[in-house]
Amino acid sequence: MIEGHAHVKPLQRAALARATGCNLETIRYYETIGVMPNPPRDANGYRSYSEEHVRRLRFVMGSRDLGFSLEEIRGLLSLVDSHSQTCAEVEGIASAHLRDVQDKIADLQRIEKVLSTTVAQCSGTDAPECPVLDALLD
């Protein structure tokens, strides 16, 4: 045990899920695809997760919350795992993701404008003519 650090009891997968708010199946999936390392097993064969697993899973979940793809997360994790990351490398990944998000926002704003315009033209009656259908058929 490192001086000044209390011994932290290893967690089983269900406890890891509770500690992070992550679904058990999602944890299994992340292990299968290599985003989460396979944990060691204790004497009775149970997986034994450490505080490092908790931190990594929170990193992955936070990255997913910001919309990073699994491939982008792998890139960020490889930088972290190599202990040679530079802010410039991380900024490059984050900037590319930001541009993707901005493009998606622009697409959604365009969609919103078209839908709001066509829906506003709808009479809401039992008439067979419908501006929304007309717009989709054009």
Please state, for a pLDDT cut of 90, what percent of the chain lies above it: 69
- pLDDT for position 3: 44
What domains does the chain contain, in order, with CATH numbers?
1-85 (1.10.1660.10), 91-138 (no CATH)
Give residue-wise pLDDT tens across range 76-92: 999 999 888 889 999 99
Residues in the chain with pLDDT values less than 50 = 1-6
What pTM did the predictor assign? Answer: 0.78
Mean pLDDT of the chain: 90
Phi-psi region of 83 (alpha: psi -120 to 50; beta: other; left: phi over 0): left
Give residue-wise pLDDT tens across range 118-130: 899 888 788 788 8
